[in-house]
Amino acid sequence: MKGTILIKKAMCKSCGLCIEACPKGSIFISKKINEKSYFPAEFDKKNNECTGCGLCAVMCPEAIIEVYREKK
Amino acid sequence: MKGMKKVIGRPKYLKEVPNHYCPGCGHSIIHRLLAEVIEELDIRDRAICIPPCGCAVLAYYYIDVDMVEAAHGRGTAVATGMKRCLPDRVVFTYQGDGDLAAIGTAELIHSANRGESITTIFVNNGVYGMTGGQMAPTTMVGQKTTTTPKGRNSVTDGPPLKMCEFLSPLDGTAFLARTSVHSPKHIQKTKKAIRQAFQTQMNDEGFSMVEILSQCPSNWKLSSVDSCRWIEEGMIPQFPLGVVKQRQTEPS
Ligand SMILES: Cc1ncc(C[n+]2csc(CCOP(=O)(O)OP(=O)(O)O)c2C)c(N)n1
Ligand code: SF4
Ligand SMILES: [Mg+2]
């Protein structure tokens, strides 16, 4: 694993643009509803292929994705 | 997070509050880019934004800089006064296409022609978003809106107005660019253009404007992802992207 992301689910509006942006298919729509009645985006921790490229965060209209990379 | 380093996060000057924009709306992306550029140029204390009438009317709840609200379309007139009184500030208007290209055309043309040292962030989503999706001057030919249920007709409604090209012959305009926020690559280019526009103002070179093609999924009646596709396939062929004008300043 080279990277990972944190999504602030309470502020997600389920637009799906991060899912479209992720080249690794590492984000999906959660089955659990959030406080605003949206099904938020969720990071696929199980098959983590994240490289920390940051495309999801660049696309996210809500600016609620934090991107982390492994320290060298 | 252990052993990990944060590389991207919420910008410092974008307030930690949920915004009122619809899911997938381009306005929210543009707000973030403004907050990032203001932080990178270190101009938080001297930036003044003139927010519009339109969906971004509440921009002052989100971007943490001083703001003075203008009446619909009057952004560049208010910015002119602001900049003339406080010439050391970085003054920018934030305007939609209804605001800038319809009701505010007169103010815009004359501010640009006078070469006011202000920047305009022009959010072109091809409709009046806030009021329910009526036709704007920038609506595409054939595009269905609530006031053009059969699609915009170029004979009765005219073709879409290209504001960057329209302003480029004016002596007062120094930097004009059209960008888009429908993909990560284009978002990065938009950020670069916003930075260039602010720098044009900080170098006192004249009027600067960035026109940003921006998705309005609600009024286009498309999903967020399909709205981005519509920008690529429907809008960009009509509104070509790139720097439309960059005046070379003569060495003094
Ligand atoms: C003087 C005046 N006339 C009309 C209105 C109604 N009005 C509010 S927003 C708007 C248009 C918004 O469209 P646009 O500028 O494209 O912004 P968007 O919502 O699409 O971002 C209009 C006509 C108003 N607020 N003030
Ligand atoms: S109506 Fe359109 S422009 Fe307004 S907030 Fe919704 S998506 Fe954005
Ligand atoms: Mg609009």
Chain A, residues 12-31, CB within 8 A of chain B, namely: 13-17, 20-21
**What are the tens digits of pLDDT across the range A5-56?**
999 999 999 999 999 999 999 999 999 999 999 999 999 999 889 999 999 9
Residue-level pLDDT at B170: 98
Measured in degrees and rounded to the nearest 5, phi and psi for residue A9 equal -65, -30
Whether residue A1 has pLDDT greater than 70: no
Q: Are B112 and B93 spatial neighbours (Cβ–Cβ below 8 Å)?
A: no
Helix axes B105-113, B75-85, angle to 10 degrees: 40
Is the minimum CB–CB distance between A1 and chain B shorter than 8 Å?
A: no
Domain ranges of chain B: 27-246
Output the residue whose Cα is nearest ligand 2's atom 5.
B21
Chain B partners within 8 Å of A11 (Cβ): 18
Contact B56 CB / ligand 1 (< 6 Å) = yes
The verdict on A11 touching B (C-beta cutoff 8 Å) is yes
Picking from B8, B224, B225, the nearest residue to A57 by CB comes out as B8
Query: What pLDDT does B52 receive?
Result: 97
- What distance in Å separates the CA atoms of residue B219 and residue B77, rounded to the nearest whole number? 29
Q: How far is the CA of B103 from the centre of ligand 1 (A)?
A: 8
Task: Give the Å distance between the CA of B75 and the centre of ligand 1.
Answer: 12
pLDDT value of residue B21: 98
Which of B14, B24, B224 lies at the smallest CB-CB distance from A63?
A: B14
Burial readout B217-235 (b: 16 or more C-beta within 10 A, e: otherwise): bbbbebebbebbebbeebb
> How high is the ipTM of this complex?
0.96
CA atoms in the 13 A half-sphere facing the CB of A59 = 24
Query: Concatenated DSSP letters for B124-193?
Result: E-SEETTTTSEE-TTPPBT---SS-TT-B-HHHH-PPP-HHHHHTTSTTEEEEEEEE-SSHHHHHHHHHH
Nearest chain B residue to A2 by CA distance is: B4
The H or E element containing residue A21 is helix A17-21
CB of B75 closer than 8 Å to CB of B123: no
Please state the separation of Cα A62 from the chain's center in Å.
Answer: 11
Element (H, E) at A56: helix A55-59
C-alpha to C-alpha distances, A55 to A72, B129, B163, nearest whole angstrom: 21, 27, 30
Name the residue at shortest CA distance from atom 6 of ligand 2.
B22
Please give the CATH number for the structural domain made up of A3-69: 3.30.70.3270
Q: Whose CA is nearest to atom 2 of ligand 2?
A: B216
Q: What is the pLDDT of residue B96?
A: 98
Give pLDDT tens digits for A26-36: 999 999 999 99
User: Which segments of chain B have a pLDDT < 70?
Assistant: 249-252
Q: How far is the CA of B26 from the centre of ligand 2 (A)?
A: 8
List the 185-214 stretch of B: residues with Cβ below 8 A of A. 187-188
Cα(B122)–Cα(B139) distance, integer angstroms:
14
Is residue B32 in contact with ligand 2, taking CB distance under 6 Å? no
- Smallest Cα distance from A9 to chain B, Å: 11
Residue of B nearest to A20 (CA): B225
Decide: B130 in ligand 1 pocket, CB within 6 A. yes
**CATH class, B27-246 region:** alpha beta
